[in-house]
Each structure stands twice: as structure tokens, then as C-alpha cells.
Structure 1
């Protein structure tokens, strides 16, 4: 693993990045396919509705359990603080939020007895779907918020939070990462893990993160990326293509969804490209750290 601070690339390069990952103003990538922008989210929802119940099991199988090490390291970088308002986006199963709370309790045991959620303008199940953002933006009612667009993934996370006795410490929000329902400058830390590549407009997701973060707040993204060794990249590509879809069929009875998941990794911006996109959304001190030779990468930036 290593941290590498990036130098700026010119505006022409950034425009090339955005063109590559949104082929025209009306189309975008869904895996290797080019689809109308207004269809991608529906297709992504279908994928995650299909894999929700087996999602964490498949992550273990696909990564040989290494995703757990990546996520643990990710949260150690976050360094939770009990005073912070924290949001995890595209985190429906709760995997990152649970780690955040447990890491918080490890260093601040009193945080476990934090005040339960107060009454709020959202439903008792803490699920919110934005209709008119300009008129209905809200403030978080918990120090820990999980946002995801897919209700099936959220249902898995809610049940897991009950099983882990964390249900009274998390606010669950059903919403699009490109249009969060919160007022400006509400959070100290924003994380998104293995979710941003499934969004239609990556730049809008990062811009929304900037909007809802407080001054001094930090954006952290864990995502699959480009293996930086040519030989390892070849073997990794072969493994992905020949192993993951068949295992998806065996474990989840779903070949196509896992075929999409590996294709979505291939079309996601490479490390330097994504770092420049983050910087273009006004984040500062942007850097990244490769994990497992770049199989996944942690990107970081601050709102100043």
C-alpha cells in the first residue's frame, strides 16, 4: 500500500475523462454496454435488488475475505470522533457504518450510550425519498446516517443493525447519492465504499458530497480500481471474468448481475483520473492510497 499525492492535469484531460465515462450527454455506461442515462439507475437497482441477500457472502467469496481488511483499514483512516456527524452513502447493508460505530466505541466507550434518534420530519423507519429537494431538505437526526437508493439493500442493513444492537444509533435514508435530501454543511465525514461506480453521474455524487460536508469535512471513497502491475493485472482480469460470474450463478442464481459488477470496475476512472475529478469538485489535499496493488483504492479530499 502507498499514498500518492497527485499533480494537476490540464483541463483538456479532465474533459476527456468525463467524455469517456459519459459517452454523450444522453448516454452512459452500464458495464460495457452504452445505455440511456435515464435507464442506468433502474438497471442498477435491479442488480442490487437481485443480489442484496447474498451481497456480503459474495464479497467474501470474490475477494477471499480481503474486502474485510480493506474496509477495516478504511475506517481506521476515518478515525471516528463522537462529536462528528457521519454519513455513509451507498452503504445499504450497513457494513461500513457498523465498522464506524464499533471503531468509535473502541476508543470512546461512552459513545455507545448516545442519545437515541429524535423525532424528525421523516418516517418512523427513517427512510426518506426526496420529492422536492429545494423545499424538503432535512438535517440528520443521528450522528450516523446510512444512505442508499435501493430499499432491498437497506432492508438487509436494518435487520443486521437489529442483530448487532445498533438499530437505535443509525438513521436510514432511501435516496439517490446524486441528490441527497440534507441541508448544506451537515456532516463532518462522508464515506462511500464500492458504490460510486454504480452511479450515473459520478461528478454529481462528488459535488453532493462537497455540498453536505461542513468546512473542514472530509470525503473518503473506497472503490475497485486499476491494478498497477501489468502481470498481476492480467491474472486479475482473467480471474474476474472466469470466476466471479459463475460463482454469482452458484451462490445467488444470478450470472448477469455479477457480470455487470466486474464490467463496472473496468469502466470506472483510473486512480489519477478519479482524483482529478474529485479535485475539480473543489476538494483540496486530494490523494489516494492503493490497496492490494490497486485492486481497490482509497481516495481522500477535504472541503476547505
Structure 2
């Protein structure tokens, strides 16, 4: 899920490139895999991404009645998280899905066609670093496995804080680094050898999958990311490791 560009130099996986080149490479990845994105997640997580997203939606906790509740899912083009939130919430729940990749958004519109027709969901092509929304619009902001592809994560966090209403919650699912002895070596072996090979077999594209693995290793560790959240203004910045630390759910509040 590609969600922004920057003028500064940055890292792309284990290669140093300028951020414009990074954005092109990120865009290429998701143009190639848009129609196979859910399958890609199943491959990378051995199906566990479904349980992780269920945990995320439980934390969003949309009201089950007709009370108004506005949810923003960033880098969520295929609508996976938004659909879960809408199904968990009541008639007052509304989901906005933002992604920079039009092909991903097209997949999401098809998936949530019923919700779109009812006016409960909308899809917007936009940049996480400069959200096209007024201040204090949303009750919850989620981003699942997409923020690591933002060139300026600090800018995206500031924007997340800006568009949340007081009392709103920021929730982020992102791959992390295994913290169980021995699991880290197994995880690396699987990530750098099995995932690209499966990407080649399933989608005819090993390089895109290799990038996704490399980008995980470049993402800040949970304590560092929590401090970035605090600098953006979020209170109660915490994280919850899942599946031996392979994934972390980050949480912060606009108070």
C-alpha cells in the first residue's frame, strides 16, 4: 500500500535510493499485486493477518447502534479493514478508505459495493502525508501494514492526529521483529527465502514480495515508533506484540 512521497533521501529495503525512486518502486509493487493482495497477505502471514485484523477491529470498537461513528482507514485500498469495521458497527458507522493506488481502491469498491450503495463507505485516492480532510473529522484512524511504506512517517502521524477528533484513537498494525528465541531465525529464513519464492509461484513476481520483506526490516522498532507517535501529539502511545512479536498493534489517543 503506497501512501506518500517525499523530497528527502530515504532507504528502500536494503538499498539506498532517493524517495522519488522509492515511490515508483512501491507503486510498481501494488499495481502488480492489487488483484492478489489478500492472497499475498495470506502467503506472507500464513493466514494470520485475518486474526490480527480482527484484533484491530475489536480495538476500534465501533458502536453497534445508530450512534454516529466515522472511521478512516489509510492505505486500505482493498477495503479489508473497513469492511470488518462496518460489519462490527451499527447503522451509524461510516468508513472512509484512503489509498494512493487507484487499482487497490477499485478492488475495495467492488468488495464493498453494497456498503457504498448504502452510503456507509467511500473510497478516496489521496496521500497519507497530506490528508484531504478538515481537522477533527474521525473517531478512529487505522492503518494496517501500510505505514512502513510512507516516506515521511512523522508527517503521516501528524496528519493522523490532526484529523482525529478529541477522544479519537489511532491504531496501526505493522510487522515487527520476532522476540521469541529461535523464532527470529526461522522468521528470517521464511521471509527471505520462502516468501519471494511463493510470490514467484503465485503471482509471477518474486521482486515485489522481496521488497515487502525488506521494508519490514527497515521499519522502526516499537519503542521508537511509540516515541514518534508521542512527538506527533498522541497520548498513551503503546504497542501490543502478537504472534511472538512478528506483528505489533500500536495505539495512541488524541486527548
Q: TM-score, length-normalised on structure 2? A: 0.92
Is residue 2:22 matched to residue 1:73?
A: no
Provide Cα deviations, 1:204-229, integer angstroms capped at 9, x if missing partner. 11110001111111110011011112
Alignment check: 8 A CA contact 2:226 2:237 kept:
yes
Report the Cα distance in structure 1 between the residues aligned to 2:141 and 2:115, rounded to whole angstroms.
Answer: 19
Is residue 2:95 matched to residue 1:95?
A: no
2:112 is paired with a residue of what secondary structure? helix
Instruction: Tell me which residue corresponds to 2:143.
Output: 192
- The number of equivalent residue pairs is 244
Q: Report the CA distance between 1:74 and its aligned residue.
A: 0.9
Q: TM-score, length-normalised on structure 1? A: 0.78
Alignment check: 8 A CA contact 1:93 1:153 kept:
yes
Instruction: Tell me which residue corresponds to 1:5.
Output: none
Please say which of residues 226-235 and 201-210 is displaced more in the overlay: 226-235
Matches within 5 A, 1:1-304: 26-81=8-63, 82-104=67-89, 108=90, 111=91, 143-162=94-113, 165-168=114-117, 169-304=120-255
Name the Cα RMSD after superposition.
1.3
Provide Cα deviations, 1:222-248, integer angstroms capped at 9, x if missing partner. 110111123111110111111000111
Alignment check: 8 A CA contact 2:86 2:94 kept:
no
**Structure with greater strand share of residues:** 2
Report the Cα distance in structure 1 between the residues aligned to 2:196 and 2:122, rounded to whole angstroms.
Answer: 33
Report the Cα distance in structure 1 between the residues aligned to 2:43 and 2:22, rounded to whole angstroms.
Answer: 26
Alignment check: 8 A CA contact 1:26 1:36 kept:
yes
Q: Report the CA distance between 1:60 and its aligned residue.
A: 1.2
Report the Cα distance in structure 2 between the residues aligned to 1:264 and 1:50, rounded to whole angstroms.
Answer: 17
Report the Cα distance in structure 1 between the residues aligned to 2:95 and 2:48, rounded to whole angstroms.
Answer: 25
Which has the higher relative contact order, 1 or 2, with Cα contacts under 8 A spaced 6 or more apart?
1
Q: Report the CA distance between 1:265 and its aligned residue.
A: 0.3
Unaligned runs of 5+ in 1: 1-24, 115-141
Report the Cα distance in structure 2 between the residues aligned to 1:204 and 1:145, rounded to whole angstroms.
Answer: 20
Provide Cα deviations, 1:138-166, integer angstroms capped at 9, x if missing partner. xxxx821000000011011111112xx22
Runs of 4+ in 1 over 4 A off after TM superposition: none
Report the Cα distance in structure 2 between the residues aligned to 1:44 and 1:291, rounded to whole angstroms.
Answer: 26
